[in-house]
Structures are given as structure tokens and as C-alpha cells.
Chains A and B, each alone.
Chain A
Amino acid sequence: MARMKFICDTERCVACHGCVVACKEGHHIPVGINRRRVIIINEGKPGERSISISCMHCSDPPCMAVCPAGAIYQRDDGIVLVNKDICIGCGYCLMACPFGAPQFPKNSSFGARGVMDKCTFCAGGPAPTFSEKEKRLYGQNRIAEGKVPLCAGMCATKALLAGDADVISKIYAERVARRGNGLKEKIF
């Protein structure tokens, strides 16, 4: 069974926000809700770095552990999802999350897209796959279509990798091994 993960290579990320906009356009996310964000540190100074952050789909998700309603669950492939029919929007998950991933609609606590919203790894939600309800509450289900998440698919520099942890860690490891040694074909 695959284990889904994101890797963001900060040597490659140029802070273009393409991932953010792809996510929002693709899932029709309301303005003000950010399933994905680009964080820039040391802006304008030597050492400036940027990284694209969303829900990291943790193996042991703290959000799931603290959810009083039991609304957060993990699929067999590691993707962490929220059931918007059960979620009460209390915000415990936001306190527990090391990345600030959970998002809450600003206009009302029970907006059109439900209570808590976060990255779905483009895997929809608990509603029937490809149903109207799934699309409305959670967005596209690209994983069921056999596609990579929108954000990684959009990334121009391939800084953001998404998919089976075994596959993307191999891509990243090869990249790191070649990095800076001046060799093209031979890794070692």
C-alpha cells in the first residue's frame, strides 16, 4: 500500500504561489481559506527561503487525536481527512497542528463549505466518490482519478513533490545526490 506524502524542496521553491492558486482554482476554495500557503523567511536578505506548506498528512496526526467529535480520520494510504458532517468547528485541531493547516470559514461558522477545511491531498472526502456532495464540500477527487494533487502538478520548478513516499523520496534523494557535484549521469 502506498503512503502519500508531500516534500517541498526549499532549494527549488521560488515562492511563485502557483501551488496556492492551483489549489484554490481547482477546488473553488473561498477567498480567505488557504489549504496551502507559501511561507517566506528572511525576506529580502541573504538566506531568504520559501516553502510551500499545507496539511502534512502526518502518520500520527495530532489533530485526529484531539478532535472531540471524532471528525478527523486517516485513510489506509495515510491521507488525513475531515468529515464535515460531524465536525463542530471548535478549533482544537488548529491548536494541535504544528503547521497551522486547519482553516475556518470567516463569514460564518457553518459556511457553504462546512466547518473546518483543509488540504485533502486532492482525495475528496467521506461523501461518495465523484458525487455532487463530495465536490461541493471537499473539492475534486484527483486521487481517485489516478492524478497527482493540483499543487504538485502545477509546480514549475518541481519543488513540491506529492505522491507515494517511496517514489517521491527516491526522486528527492537522487536530486540531492547529484546536487553540487558537477556530474550529470554518474551519481557517485
Chain B
Amino acid sequence: MTNHFNDIRHAKLVFFIGSNAAEAHPVAMQHILYAKEVNNAPIIVVDPRFTKLAAKATDYVRIRPGTDTAFLMGLINQLIQNEWYDKEFVRTRVAGFEELKEVAAHYTPEVVEDITGVPAKEVVRIAKLMATHRPGTVVWCMGLTQHHIGSSNTRAACILQLMLGNMGVSGGGTNIFRGHDNVQGATDMCVLSHSLPGYYGLSEKAWRHWCEVWGVDYEWMKSRFHSKEYMEKPGFTLARWYEGVIQEDKIYQYTPIKAVVFWGCSSTSQSQYHKLKKALDKLELVVIIDPFPTTTAAMCEKDNVYLLPSTSQYETEGSVTSSCRQAQWRYKVVDPIYDSKTDYEILQEFVKRFGFADKFFKNIKKIPEDVTREIARGTLTIGLVGWLPERIKKHTDNWHTFDIDTLQAKGGPCDGEYYGLPWPCWTEEHPGTPILYDISKPVAKGGLPFRARFGTEYTYPSGRKENLLAAEGVANPGSEIMGGYPEFKGWKTDVRVIKEAVKRGMAPFGNARARCYCWNFPDPVPVHREPLHSPRPDLIKKYPTYPDKPNHYRVYTRFKSEQKPELVKEFPLVLITGRVVEHMGGGDETRSNKYLAELMPEVYAEINPRVANNYGLREGDMIWVESPEGGRIRVKVKITDRVDDRTIFIPYSFGGMFMGRSMAANYPDGLVPYAIGEPANIVVNYGYDIKTQIQATKEGLCRIRKA
């Protein structure tokens, strides 16, 4: 999130695309409804499904799944064609406008209507609404990201905000509501296969930086890996790791995967689940560290599973990071109950047995405070330098002294600081940065320009040369240079450089323009590409997907060879998945709560009345939903207008059933969740983002028949 939840109270318009915040983020709704009530802000909801959030919208736009980029580019085109865009913002802080304009021109309201199903008039009306209600905020979630062009979708949304001049201002921004407790913290620590903590990547330089922070020898670290090549090579992703076991797609690794550890992770939130199950039954070792015996454990039908009971968040303590980049200290409420252990303790026991405890705990004498301190010392890239445990605790203990609108403390022990020290918190005295890219404030007081990450100049394929740094006169107040400037040399690894920059009123990472044209992406300007499994064969020809991608996070990933225009004949319905408010993620925790299970006891497919009548289905009938990859699930019919007559929706938080079979007998005695059901991800289709490899769960085809 560039801004924060509370800042939405300043928005004059809230635009949701691929988000059902009313079910996924009910607590955040207080700020959205406040903007609606007090600012008279239009609430625009763009979604294939009339969600509970749509029920709170002033303007609901039904869109065909997988066509978000086309819709967003249509809006951008309207802003440009009608000169509704923020010309001064574009002149001073944006790069690649000419290139954007050229690509966007294709997305006329009529073209957008053909691709997305949104009437041409609506495209114009929504664009005008956004142009006349500034600042407005744009919110998205998995509905925008989980597509094979997910990275284009998100970039198109960012460009839309650039055109409106809504970046770096209160009430504006691109605000991506994170879906889990502390998921921003997990992301910042890069619990990912392609980067060390703090987004440092996997280069030798990155490894050397962290080795220095950890106080271990780089050569020793290298000796732990198969080779230097593998040390620096992105690993398998969460979306595709099972291919490393079953190898139905070619893998690029010297060995198949032999063991997997699920640490507070639900396997049922991954697509192609019937293939993932194959992997579970083939692995030599499956370790599950969780407060609950999860669906993953019940799915394993080979004697290869170890359950390590861990504590809940109430039985341990430490810092957690909110969606808005804020840290908060979570204190322990009760001591661990039964024979569960904290995550710290489990990790310690592992490390001891692996034989490198001396190296692992070199800087860690007191857990968790020293862990937080080590993170602060190493994570310069996003400015966690100021996140010291005592500062975080001080904020948490005095949270009543902070203003609900601005997050700033008025008096008291944290006077002038922003709640939770939103990163970047450049130094031990920095107040935090509540709004990213806000040039109205000095850097030392929480201001920030756009980052200069891609050099100072670029020549586009057309031959046009552009200065990538911000225009003359555009900088934070008090900046030594009143205009663009490149990044400070060495700022990512030397805290003295950061301090020097901030002292001079400048951002350590420079002051540049935001790019509309990203030459390091397959589509430098976002363009529409039909989903791999599209219901519109005619559009596949016009907007084909990418060529196949070998060695994509160590696995061959099919694009073009998977895009089959004839598939829709056999699989005529589009399948989308999503949240229900009662259950969380894979649902192992919430389905084990009797009251939540009572409210949402079983999995179902939402089907439009027209489809139900055409298939001869009545409310409560059981149907088989089948995917092109051979996945099938048995679920109950729920007839509703939430979905249109080409789409069905299934919530993804169920588990404990597998393609018609109950796995209840596989749970330890007495621990079967109150609610079990088929995981929707068994029938979610093949398909992954070209850049990030996120699974495409919000597009794809299926067929249904009465069970």
C-alpha cells in the first residue's frame, strides 16, 4: 500500500478492482464507508461477481474475468483522449507517456466493450467520474493479481493513478489490501524463492551483504549450497513446487524435490491441487508445523507426514507488519498450551540439530528483540533501520496518542511520529513514511519522491530519448537539489549513506519519474492477452498469450502451447474463486471453530438462475465441477444473481474432501474440522503469471453436471 487504511478517509473516490473487501477486509470497511458518507465519495467496484462489497458500491461494473488490463487501459485512453489526465504531474514525474499513449489508443470504448463486456458508455462514464473526483484511491487484491497477465494488470492500475495525478497524495495512492495477518512482514522478509530478506535478490553482492549482517563467512555460506549457480538461481515457487516432485512439466534442477515443509501454510490455496496431492504422496518427507493438523496432513496417503504443533499468535510475541507498512509489537497473552512450541523454539531446535546454531544465533541473545534488531540492521532497501524493538513497543503501548486520520502522534512520548513507523523509516529518529512518493513533506519528516532505480536516461525503440529523473523544481522541501537526482551510491548496504542523504533533505534512492514503459517486462506497456483457457476463441487470435517459458523458476511453464481455442466447446463456463468472510485462507483454523463452521458449513458453487434452469438444477442439488486438467469436485448448488450466466464461483477455503472422497479418517482422532469440503483449487485451471508465476485462479474454464 502506498497510503494507509485510515488515509482512505480522505479519498474523494474509491475504485476497487478484483477486491471483495467487505468479506476479505471487513475491518478496513469502516474507512471506506466513512469516505462514502462524509466525502460523498463514489465507490466503484469492478468485479465479475456482485460481491458483498458491490452491495456497498455506488457504481458496480461487471467485467469478464481476465480482462482487467483492457478495462484499465480503456480508462487510461479516455483520460488521455479527453485531456482529463493530470498534465503537470505527467510532465514532471512520469516517464514513457508518449509510448503509453500509443498503446492505450487501441483501447477505445468499443474495443473495451468487446473484450470486457462493459458497455462502451460505462467506460467513458467511469473515466469521467474518476477525473472529476480527485484524489481517489485504487484498491486491488487477488482478483487483479492472480492472472497469467497479473503483473500487467497491476501495472495498468498504477499507470491509471499516475494519469490522474493521484500518487503521493493523501486520499490517493494504489492500495493493495494484504490478505493475511503479517503478510506484509513475510513479504518484506522475502519468504520467497528469488530474494533474500529486504528485496536484495540472490546476487553474490546480496549474499555478501547479509552474510556481513549475520556475521558469518560468505565462503562457508557458499559451501552449504550445491553450487554457486544454485545459490543465485531463483527456486521453485509456491504455485509450482509440486512439479519439482512429479515432473509432468520439465524441471531445471539437478535433483527432484524430496521433502517439503509447510510452516503455517495451507496447501489447499494452491491451484492444480489434484497434482499437488500426487506430489504429497510421492515425497519422502512432509513436515507440517501448525497449530492445527491441516488439510495437507489429511491429504497425504503415504506414511511420510510429521506434525509439529506450533503455538498460535497469542502464545508468542514479536513485531508484525500491517498492510500499510506499519510495525506493531504483539505481546504474549498466555503461555503455550498443551505440548505446542513457539515458532522460535521449533526453529532453534532444528538449527541445533543441523549443527550451525553458533552461526545462526551469533547476534541473537534475546528472542525476539534481537531478531527485530538484526532485521533493522540489514534491511536498508526499504528503510527498516528505524524499526528498533523499543520504538515499536513504544508505539503499540501509546497507540491512543495517534490521530485516526493522519496516523501522526499529537504530543505524548511519540510526538510527531506516524503510528507503527511506516517504512521507509530511514533512521533511528525518522518518524516513518505514511504516504509513499509524497513530495509535499521533507524526507526527514516522512516525504519521499519516486525511486530512481532504472538509470537516468532511456532511449525507447522509437529512438526517443527521455530523462528518467524528475523535472526541474520537483523535489521534497529542503532538498539540496531542487529537481531529479540519481540514487546515492552504496545506500543499500551502508547506513551512513542513508543518513547523509536524509540530512541533505534527499531520498537515498534518488528522485525519478515513475515509468509507464517498463522495458524489463515482456509487455513494456500493459496490453490485453486472453486467458490461456478463454471463452472467446475469436479473441485468442487477436490477443494471444506469450510463448512458452522454459526454466521459469526452475520449471517449464506453458503459455502458447496451453492456449487452446476449442476448449470452450467442452468446458463452457468460466470458473472464479474467492473468499467468504467466515473462513480464512485454506480454512484449517476457521473450519475448526464451531461457530464459524455453523455459519459457513459447506462448500458450494454459485450458479446463475439461467444456468441452473438450463442444466435442470435446483437449489441444494449436488453437481460435479470438472476442469480441463482432470480435476473434479462434488459441490452443492447455490442459485444466485451474484454471478452472470457464463460464470460460476466457488469459495476456496475448504478441504478434507478429495474428488468425491472424504479424507476425514486421515485426521488424528477427534480433530476433524467441523466443516470439511472439496478444495476449489482442484478444479482451478493451469496458468501462471509470466513474470511472478502467481497462479491464475480468477480465469479458466470448467463444466458442470448433476451428481
- Identify whether the interface residues of B are mostly helix, strand, loop, or mixed: helix
Contact A14 B22 (CB under 8 A): yes
B248 at the interface (CB under 8 A from A): no
Task: Provide the bound-state CA to CA distance between A46 and B642, in Å.
Answer: 10
Residues in B10-25 with C-beta less than 8 Å from chain A: 22-23
User: How many residue pairs between the two chains, A and B, have CB atoms under 8 Å in the bound complex?
Assistant: 74
User: Chain A interface: which of B30-38, B219-227, B235-243, B387-395?
Assistant: B30-38
Contact B50 A45 (CB under 8 A): yes
Task: Provide the bound-state CA to CA distance between A63 and B595, in Å.
Answer: 27
Task: Provide the bound-state CA to CA distance between A44 and B640, in Å.
Answer: 6
Contact A184 B38 (CB under 8 A): yes
Least CB separation from A24: chain B residue: B595
Task: Provide the bound-state CA to CA distance between A24 and B29, in Å.
Answer: 23
* B618: A residues at CB distance < 8 A: none
For B27, B52, B53, the residue with the greatest tally of chain A CB atoms inside 10 Å of its CB is B52
B39 at the interface (CB under 8 A from A): yes
B467 to chain A, nearest CB (A): 40
* B23: A residues at CB distance < 8 A: 14, 16
Task: Provide the bound-state CA to CA distance between A32 and B598, in Å.
Answer: 8
B111 at the interface (CB under 8 A from A): no
* A49: B residues at CB distance < 8 A: 55
* A182: B residues at CB distance < 8 A: 38-40
A18 at the interface (CB under 8 A from B): yes
A interface list, Cβ under 8 A from B: 11-12, 14-18, 20-21, 24-25, 31-32, 43-46, 48-50, 156-158, 175, 178-184
Task: Provide the bound-state CA to CA distance between A25 and B597, in Å.
Answer: 13
Least CB separation from B640: chain A residue: A44
Query: Which residue from A12, A15, A175 sits with its C-beta under 8 Å from B581?
Result: A15
Among all A-B residue pairs, the 3 with the closest Cβ atoms:
A44-B642, A48-B55, A16-B26
Task: Provide the bound-state CA to CA distance between A138 and B23, in Å.
Answer: 31
* B33: A residues at CB distance < 8 A: 11-12, 157
* B26: A residues at CB distance < 8 A: 14, 16, 18, 156-157
Least CB separation from A34: chain B residue: B598
Residue contacts A-B, CB under 8 angstroms, 9 given: A14-B53, A14-B56, A17-B582, A21-B599, A32-B598, A45-B50, A156-B30, A178-B38, A180-B37
Contact B641 A44 (CB under 8 A): yes
Contact A31 B52 (CB under 8 A): no
* B30: A residues at CB distance < 8 A: 12, 156-158
* A44: B residues at CB distance < 8 A: 50, 640-642
Query: Which residue from A43, A50, A181 sits with its C-beta under 8 Å from B40?
Result: A181
Contact A31 B595 (CB under 8 A): yes
B104 to chain A, nearest CB (A): 31
Apart from A20-B599, A182-B40, list 16 A-B contacts with CB within 8 A.
A11-B33, A14-B26, A17-B581, A18-B26, A20-B595, A21-B599, A31-B594, A44-B641, A46-B50, A50-B52, A156-B30, A157-B26, A175-B37, A180-B40, A182-B38, A184-B38
Residues in B92-130 with C-beta less than 8 Å from chain A: none
* B39: A residues at CB distance < 8 A: 182, 184
* A181: B residues at CB distance < 8 A: 40
Contact B594 A45 (CB under 8 A): no
A4 to chain B, nearest CB (A): 24
A44 to chain B, nearest CB (A): 4
B150 to chain A, nearest CB (A): 26
* A157: B residues at CB distance < 8 A: 26, 29-30, 33
B60 at the interface (CB under 8 A from A): yes
Task: Provide the bound-state CA to CA distance between A183 and B40, in Å.
Answer: 9
Task: Provide the bound-state CA to CA distance between A181 and B30, in Å.
Answer: 18
A5 to chain B, nearest CB (A): 21
* B599: A residues at CB distance < 8 A: 17, 20-21
Task: Provide the bound-state CA to CA distance between A155 and B56, in Å.
Answer: 16
B657 at the interface (CB under 8 A from A): no
* B22: A residues at CB distance < 8 A: 14-16
* B53: A residues at CB distance < 8 A: 14
Least CB separation from B53: chain A residue: A14
* B598: A residues at CB distance < 8 A: 31-32
* A20: B residues at CB distance < 8 A: 595, 599
* A14: B residues at CB distance < 8 A: 22-23, 26, 29, 52-53, 56
Query: A175-B37, A178-B38 given as contacts; is B50 within 8 A of A156 (CB)?
Result: no
Residues in B408-434 with C-beta less than 8 Å from chain A: none
Task: Provide the bound-state CA to CA distance between A32 and B597, in Å.
Answer: 11
Task: Provide the bound-state CA to CA distance between A12 and B26, in Å.
Answer: 11
Contact with A along B574-597 (1 / 0, CB 8 A): 000000011000000000001110
* A179: B residues at CB distance < 8 A: 37-38
Least CB separation from B56: chain A residue: A14
Task: Provide the bound-state CA to CA distance between A93 and B30, in Å.
Answer: 36
Task: Provide the bound-state CA to CA distance between A32 and B29, in Å.
Answer: 29
Least CB separation from B582: chain A residue: A17
* B641: A residues at CB distance < 8 A: 44-45
Task: Provide the bound-state CA to CA distance between A4 and B595, in Å.
Answer: 27
* A17: B residues at CB distance < 8 A: 581-582, 599
A103 to chain B, nearest CB (A): 13
Task: Provide the bound-state CA to CA distance between A31 and B29, in Å.
Answer: 28
* A12: B residues at CB distance < 8 A: 30, 33
Least CB separation from B600: chain A residue: A17
Query: Which residue from B52, B581, B582, B595 sits with its C-beta under 8 Å from A25?
Result: B595
* A45: B residues at CB distance < 8 A: 50, 641
Least CB separation from B55: chain A residue: A48
Task: Provide the bound-state CA to CA distance between A31 and B593, in Å.
Answer: 11
Task: Provide the bound-state CA to CA distance between A137 and B26, in Å.
Answer: 32
Contact B642 A43 (CB under 8 A): yes
Residues in B587-634 with C-beta less than 8 Å from chain A: 594-596, 598-599
Contact A21 B55 (CB under 8 A): no
Query: A156-B26, A156-B27 given as contacts; is B594 within 8 A of A11 (CB)?
Result: no
Task: Provide the bound-state CA to CA distance between A175 and B37, in Å.
Answer: 8
Least CB separation from A178: chain B residue: B38
* B594: A residues at CB distance < 8 A: 31
Task: Provide the bound-state CA to CA distance between A56 and B490, in Å.
Answer: 65
Task: Provide the bound-state CA to CA distance between A24 and B596, in Å.
Answer: 10
Least CB separation from A37: chain B residue: B599
A106 to chain B, nearest CB (A): 12
Contact with A along B35-55 (1 / 0, CB 8 A): 001111000000000101111
* A184: B residues at CB distance < 8 A: 38-39
B23 to chain A, nearest CB (A): 7
Task: Provide the bound-state CA to CA distance between A183 and B39, in Å.
Answer: 6
B459 to chain A, nearest CB (A): 47
Task: Provide the bound-state CA to CA distance between A48 and B594, in Å.
Answer: 27
Task: Provide the bound-state CA to CA distance between A183 and B60, in Å.
Answer: 25
Task: Provide the bound-state CA to CA distance between A18 and B598, in Å.
Answer: 13
B601 to chain A, nearest CB (A): 10
A182 to chain B, nearest CB (A): 4
Least CB separation from B28: chain A residue: A156
Task: Provide the bound-state CA to CA distance between A35 and B78, in Å.
Answer: 52
Least CB separation from A22: chain B residue: B595
Contact with A along B196-215 (1 / 0, CB 8 A): 00000000000000000000
Task: Provide the bound-state CA to CA distance between A117 and B595, in Å.
Answer: 17
Contact with A along B70-89 (1 / 0, CB 8 A): 00000000000000000000
